Structure 1
Amino acid sequence: MTSLPLVSVIIPCYNAENFVESAVRSIMEQTYSNLEIIVINDCSSDNTGEILKRLAEKDPRIKYIENEQNLKLPKTLNKGIKLSKGEYIARMDADDISFPERLEKQIAFLLSNSEIDLVSTNSQWIDENDDILDYRTTHPKFHCEIQHVLPWKCPLVHPSIIARRSFFIDLEGYKEDILFGEDYELWIRGWLEGKMYHCLPEVLLYYRSHKNQMTGTGFNANNAKSIRSFLYTFLLETKNPKFLFGILLQTKIFHFLITKTYKLRVLLK
């Protein structure tokens, strides 16, 4: 019987004491068991480190890493990739919850589809009390659909992805000077270099929306500026006009119009 490949799950953690145990346990309790779970404490000032150390004592698959200084997300992710040993590398955030069968289903798909480099899933949003919110993603499934929308929106849920190790090695990981949208930039760069994507249509991740998270639904000028910057670079490189639409979407007026349209649709249901 062929042994199952090792999957390295990278979980960067920063001041996540309220949610990190649930997040890590959701990986510990996966139906796919051949894992190394790399948890990296990025200089948290709360009890995140103590919680992670306690979990690491209970499960030998957990490798606890502590940054000497706050490296921010992209550098921490690249550090996790370098420390990992798995043939496959999965992402997980310190405040989300993976469904038990998530990794098993993603690995099964990758083993059966050698042309695909990265697989994501859809997600159901929850709040800080684990209550279900009225939003779940319905991202495009096939690569041909994903590449169609990549220039103007991010169709892959970052904490839900798993990729072949070669994906990260070939692309040399995340751009460390991009502090917001580092995942989106990587997906575009990978697509332009011929990498293939797929999204499993089912929900396999609870994505938590709360006031302390780095990402959110509201408009943030600095975050939007970061995304506009790399989209503009891709526009110049490719001359693909879809990137221009993506740049326009990352402006306050477009965000306002989209938000109002969504709220109107909800009211008219």
Structure 2
Amino acid sequence: MKNGLVSVIMPNYNTGDYVYESVLSVLDQTYKNIELIIVDDKSSDNSINILRGIASKDNRVKLVFLKNNGGAANARNVAIKKSNGQYISFIDSDDLWSPRKLEKQIDYMNENNYTFVATYYDYIDFEGESLDRIIKGRLRRNYWQLLKDCPGNSTVIYNANKLGKNYVPLIRRRNDYLMWLQVIKKAHYLNIFPEILVHYRIRPDSLSRKKRELVQYHWKIYREYEHLNYFVSIYLTSYYIFRGVFRKIFNRT
């Protein structure tokens, strides 16, 4: 395992009930050469005090407090700009990593000369209990396959030395999806490490649960950002809707 620095990007907004556990899942990684860059998007809960307490005990944590709320995409961009790592990895402030997540992913990248890697993940509820739902998908994806099968944001890592820093388009939702579409144009393939290394938290108030608006954002991505034609965009939007319904009904991966 090569011990290149990993810059872990974490935006935070009002996740005081979860951020401590999420941060510890990063700091407790078996892979120790990390910097955790947390950008607080002007939280109004107790997040700030929690983050300051953690940072005072571990100098790998770098805190940025924004003066104005600009959304997760802007917060991620601020963190990416400040990053120094050979690798850039992402985690949302309510998700959890397994202890060997980075170690296994980076070994996998180095052994196979991959530059863009994600993992399987599962879902937990707001209390951290398993929802018995695992997301796997195709193990190797090109651009067109990624359009239909987006990885979980908190599973992704890429080699910034080879692919450069990639910034998030400033749309409110599915901005991570847009980033991966940018990255894969450079990497050519996204490869999936076939193990559950991330636990994705479902909260009643999470943005990702507003399904109708997510469909609208998918359409916006296909037409306005990726400049796909009308019929391809219809197909991909329909695929996204029916795949979500299928997974929900049959609990499929």
Q: What secondary structure sits across from 1:150 in the alignment?
A: helix
Letter of the structure 2 residue corresponding to residue 129 of structure 1 = E
- The answer on whether the counterparts of 1:13 and 1:40 sit within 8 Å (CA) in structure 2 is yes
Summarize the Cα distance change of 1:58–1:197 in structure 2 as closer, same or farther, 3 Å threshold: same
Structure 1 match to 2:140: 142
Provide the rounded CA distance (Å) in 1 between the counterparts of 2:248 and 2:158: 35
Q: What secondary structure sits across from 1:211 in the alignment?
A: coil
Provide the rounded CA distance (Å) in 1 between the counterparts of 2:11 and 2:52: 14
TM-score (norm 2): 0.89
Q: In terms of Rg, which structure is larger?
A: 1
Summarize the Cα distance change of 1:101–1:194 in structure 2 as closer, same or farther, 3 Å threshold: closer
Question: What displacement does 1:194 show?
Answer: 4.9
Question: What displacement does 1:185 show?
Answer: 1.6
| 1:235-259 per-position Cα deviation (integer Å, ceiling 9, x unaligned) | 645x596543112346xxx45x952
Provide the rounded CA distance (Å) in 1 between the counterparts of 2:68 and 2:176: 22
Letter of the structure 1 residue corresponding to residue 218 of structure 2 = I
Summarize the Cα distance change of 1:263–1:162 in structure 2 as closer, same or farther, 3 Å threshold: closer
Question: What displacement does 1:234 show?
Answer: 6.0
- Segments of 5+ residues of structure 2 without an aligned counterpart are none
Q: What secondary structure sits across from 1:200 in the alignment?
A: strand
1:219 aligns with 2:211: yes
- The answer on whether the counterparts of 1:120 and 1:161 sit within 8 Å (CA) in structure 2 is yes
Summarize the Cα distance change of 1:74–1:263 in structure 2 as closer, same or farther, 3 Å threshold: closer
Cα-Cα RMSD: 2.4
Structure 2 match to 1:152: 148
Q: What secondary structure sits across from 2:234 in the alignment?
A: helix
Summarize the Cα distance change of 1:234–1:52 in structure 2 as closer, same or farther, 3 Å threshold: closer
Structure 1 match to 2:164: 169
Provide the rounded CA distance (Å) in 2 between the counterparts of 1:15 and 1:44: 5
Structure 2 match to 1:109: 108
Provide the rounded CA distance (Å) in 1 between the counterparts of 2:172 and 2:37: 21
- Segments of 5+ residues of structure 1 without an aligned counterpart are none
TM-score (norm 1): 0.84
Q: What secondary structure sits across from 1:215 in the alignment?
A: helix
Structure 1 match to 2:236: 246
Q: Identity of paired residues, percent?
A: 26
